[in-house]
Amino acid sequence: MFKIDVEKQLGNILIKCSFEIAKPCITAICGCSGAGKTSIINMAAGLITPDKGIISYNGREFYNSEKKINIPANKRFTGCVFQESRLFPNMKVKKNLLYGMMRKSPSSLNCNLDDVCSLLGISHLLERYPQNLSGGEKQRTHQRDPLPASQSGAAFLRRGTANFCHGALSISGRAPDL
């Protein structure tokens, strides 16, 4: 179960977010520009610290302000995909993909290169350099970041939703298609 119940003051904006996800699913956080979507993801991933609250996954507390627990991002074993591409320009796509996998022991990997390429539809891009990829190809390629790295099973993806606004921030989830 993933649980987040946090508050964070950012300038004159107070972000309050509380939800629980009981079983693995794909979850979307939607809202207008400036509503706090990225800040919530960054708090969950450990990239910014909430002012107070709790963040936990499967009973492991990543953050608890009352207990003074704040596990650093690099020890949470979660993955995070940023909105902008973060590929090494001097490496072909295959080497970029393998970079994250090299940091893990083979027994800790929850997928292999063929699985990642098939999932992302990028098998045909393996021998290309980032400067020879389209914007969409770069996005799909850099989505590899959380897949082999997320031993906990939690991966946070920040995707743009330009011109999408229905007022309030909303959170929804559905079971993944496996």
Helix locations, 103-172, DSSP H? 113-120, 135-142, 146-149
Apex CA 96: angle with CA 95 and CA 100, to 5°? 105
Residues of the chain with pLDDT under 70: 79-85, 100-111, 142-178
Residue extents of the structural domains in the chain:
1-78+153-178, 80-151
Residue 7 has a pLDDT of 96
DSSP state letter for 103: T
Residue 108 has a pLDDT of 53
Q: Of the candidates 43, 26, 6, which has an alpha carbon nearest to the alpha carbon of residue 172?
A: 26
Contact assessment for residue 118 and residue 147, using Cβ atoms and an 8 Å cutoff: no
78-108: burial string, b at 16+ Cβ within 10 Å, e else: bbbbbeebebeeeebbbebbbebbeeeeeee
Residue 168 has a pLDDT of 41
How do residues 151-166 score in pLDDT, each as one tens digit?
Answer: 445 555 555 433 333 3
Residues linked to residue 57 through DSSP beta bridges, in sequence order:
2, 60
Residue 85 has a pLDDT of 65
Q: Of the candidates 84, 115, 100, 114, which has an alpha carbon nearest to the alpha carbon of residue 151?
A: 100
Contact assessment for residue 160 and residue 83, using Cβ atoms and an 8 Å cutoff: yes
> What's the CA gap between 138 and 118, in Å, rounded?
15
How do residues 31-43 score in pLDDT, each as one tens digit?
Answer: 777 788 888 988 9
Q: Is the pTM of this model over 0.85?
A: no
Residue 167 has a pLDDT of 37
> What's the CA gap between 25 and 28, in Å, rounded?
10
